Structure 1
Amino acid sequence: MSAENKSYSYKRNRKEIMDSLKRIEGQVRGIQKMVDERRYCVDVLTQIAAARMALARVALIILEDHTLGCVCSAIVEEEHKHEAVEELLDVIKKFIR
């Protein structure tokens, strides 16, 4: 889809997304502090895994909203449905690698 046809349908969960991202930011700062303090590698890796999972949860919220909002709208309107579905598939491929 071209840039002028793109919209942002995550407004429904915007607060939830922003709150989660702020928590993740805190987690990453905590990881930086752990590395700076030369904490045990396994403890650092455990925190990295937790931050990655938290990011994956945020990504799923945005992906769900995108699918239910942007992609469904494009399919109903039929004007850009093939582009919207291709874009969705490309995004999904990025996350399953």
Structure 2
Amino acid sequence: MKIDKEKAVLMLKTCRGQIDATLKMIDDGRYCLDVVNQILAAEALLKKANKLILKQHMESCVKNAFTSTDVDEKIGEVVDVLNKIMK
């Protein structure tokens, strides 16, 4: 998880920078579509980080649950998250 964790943290920090830049763009009265594109870039990074973390969860927590009694609980958690993503 260490490499994936570092990647996710880097993506989230980059996203935070993009959000800060977006706020400055709005304050500066920048062109609306430039602001929209900045928001889309931040959303893409959030989605990418989310996929990476979900993948890691599947490879560790859910995989480990198959050898214990929480397998139904872990599968339910993943299904709940996927339902939120697919809205």
* TM-score normalised to structure 1 length: 0.85
Instruction: Find 2:9's aligned residue among 6, 18, 31.
Output: 18
Q: Which residue of 1 aligns with 2:85?
A: 95
Partner deviation per Cα, 1:40-80 (whole Å, 9 max, x = no partner): 11110011011001100000000000011101110122x10
Structure 2 residue ranges without an equivalent (≥5): none
| Alignment-derived partner of residue 70 in structure 2 | 80
Q: Distance in 1 between matches of 2:66 and 2:41?
A: 36
User: Larger relative contact order (C-alpha < 8 A, sep ≥ 6)?
Assistant: 1
Residue 89 (structure 1) shift: 0.3
Task: State the 4+ residue runs in structure 1 displaced beyond 6 angstroms.
Answer: none
- The RMSD of aligned alpha carbons is 1.0
| Identity across matched positions, percent | 33
Distance 2:27 2:13 in 1: 21
Offset, 1:14: 1.2
Whole-angstrom distance in 1 between the partners of 2:15 and 2:9: 10
Paired residues in the alignment total 87
Out of 9, 32, 45, which is 2:36 matched to? 45
Gaps of 5+ in 1: 1-9
Write the distance in 1 (CA, Å) between the matches of 2:38 and 2:65: 39
**Structure 2 counterpart of 1:81, which letter?**
V
